[in-house]
Amino acid sequence: MIKITLPDSSVREYEKGVSGLDIARSISNRLAKEVLSITVNGEVCDLTRSIEADSTIKLNTWDDAEGKHAFWHSSAHLMAEAIDVLYPGTKFAIGPSIEMGFYYDLDLPEGKQITDKDLKKIEQKMLELARQKNAFVRTEMAKEEALAHFTEKGDEYKQELISELEDGTITFYEQGGFTDLCRGPHLPNTSYIKAIQLNSIAGAYWRGDEKNKMLTRIYGVTFPKAKFLDEYNKMMEEAKKRDHRKIGKEMELFTFSQSVGQGLPLWLPKGAALRERLENFLKVVQKKFGYEQIITPHIGDVRLYKTSGHYQKYGADSFQTINTPAEGEEFMLKPMNCPHHCEVFKFKPRSYKDLPTRFAEFGTVYRYEQSGELHGLTRVRGFTQDDAHIFCRPDQLKEEFKKVIDIIFIIFKALDFKEYTAQISLRDPQKPEKYIGTPENWDKAEQAIVEACEEKGLNTITELGEAAFYGPKLDFMIKDALGRSWQLGTIQVDYNLPERFELEYIGSDDKRHRPVMIHRAPFGSMERFCAVLIEHTAGKFPLWLTPEQVVILPISEKYNDYAAKVSNYLNICDIRSIVDDRNEKIGRKIRDNELKRIPYLLIVGEQEAENETVSVRRQGEGDKGTMAMKEFADFINDEVRNQLSEIYN
In the complex, least distance from residue 333 CB atom to its own copies, rounded to whole angstroms? 7
Q: Which among 140-148, 273-281, 419-427, 457-465 is the span making contact with its own copies, rule CB under 8 A?
A: 273-281
Does residue 293 bind its own copies (CB under 8 A)?
A: yes
* Position among 52, 160, 230, 292 found at the interface with its own copies (CB under 8 A): 292
CB 81 within 8 A of CB 177: yes
Q: Which of 304, 19, 342 is nearest to 185 (CA)?
A: 19
Q: What is the phi-psi region of residue 497: left when phi exceeds 0, alpha when psi lies from -120 to 50, beta otherwise? A: alpha
Does residue 344 bind its own copies (CB under 8 A)?
A: yes
Does residue 149 bind its own copies (CB under 8 A)?
A: no
Q: Which of 33, 77, 60, 35 is nearest to 220 (CA)?
A: 77
Which residues, at least 6 apart from 210, have a Cβ–Cβ distance to it below 8 Å?
none
Helices (H), 324-438: 338-346, 397-414
Q: Is 186 annotated in the active site?
A: no
* Position among 91, 340, 350, 617 found at the interface with its own copies (CB under 8 A): 340
DSSP 163-225: HTSPTT--EEEEETTEEEE------SBGGG--EEEEEEEEEEEGGG-TTSPEEEEEEEEEESS
Nearer to its own copies, 72 or 501 (CB): 501
Does residue 529 bind its own copies (CB under 8 A)?
A: no
Catalytic residue among 473, 536, 589, 617: 473
Q: What is the phi-psi region of residue 3: left when phi exceeds 0, alpha when psi lies from -120 to 50, beta otherwise? A: beta
Q: Is 207 annotated in the active site?
A: no
Does residue 21 bind its own copies (CB under 8 A)?
A: no
Q: Is 573 annotated in the active site?
A: no
Angle between helices 629-648 and 397-414 (to 10 degrees): 150
* Position among 259, 430, 459, 645 found at the interface with its own copies (CB under 8 A): 259
Q: Is 338 annotated in the active site?
A: yes
Does residue 131 bind its own copies (CB under 8 A)?
A: no
Catalytic residue among 244, 513, 519, 536: 519
Q: Is 520 annotated in the active site?
A: no
* Position among 39, 134, 307, 593 found at the interface with its own copies (CB under 8 A): 307
Nearer to its own copies, 200 or 257 (CB): 257
* 345-404 residues near its own copies, rule: CB under 8 A: 346-348, 359, 364, 366, 368, 370-371, 382
Longest dimension (CA), the chain: 92
* Position among 40, 94, 100, 273 found at the interface with its own copies (CB under 8 A): 273
Does residue 264 bind its own copies (CB under 8 A)?
A: yes
The set of long-range contacts for 36-43, using a CB threshold of 8 Å and a minimum separation of 24, is 36/60, 36/61, 36/62, 36/64, 36/66, 36/67, 36/68, 36/70, 36/71, 36/187, 36/192, 36/224, 37/66, 37/67, 37/69, 37/70, 37/185, 37/187, 38/185, 39/66
Q: Which among 14-22, 59-67, 310-318, 627-635 is the span making contact with its own copies, rule CB under 8 A?
A: 310-318
* Position among 65, 202, 239, 322 found at the interface with its own copies (CB under 8 A): 322
Question: What residues act catalytically?
Answer: 338, 367, 385, 387, 389, 473, 519
Summarize as ranges the residues that interact with its own copies (CB under 8 A). Answer: 252, 255, 257-261, 264-269, 271-273, 275-276, 292-301, 303-304, 307, 316-326, 331, 333, 339-340, 343-344, 346-348, 359, 364, 366, 368, 370-371, 382
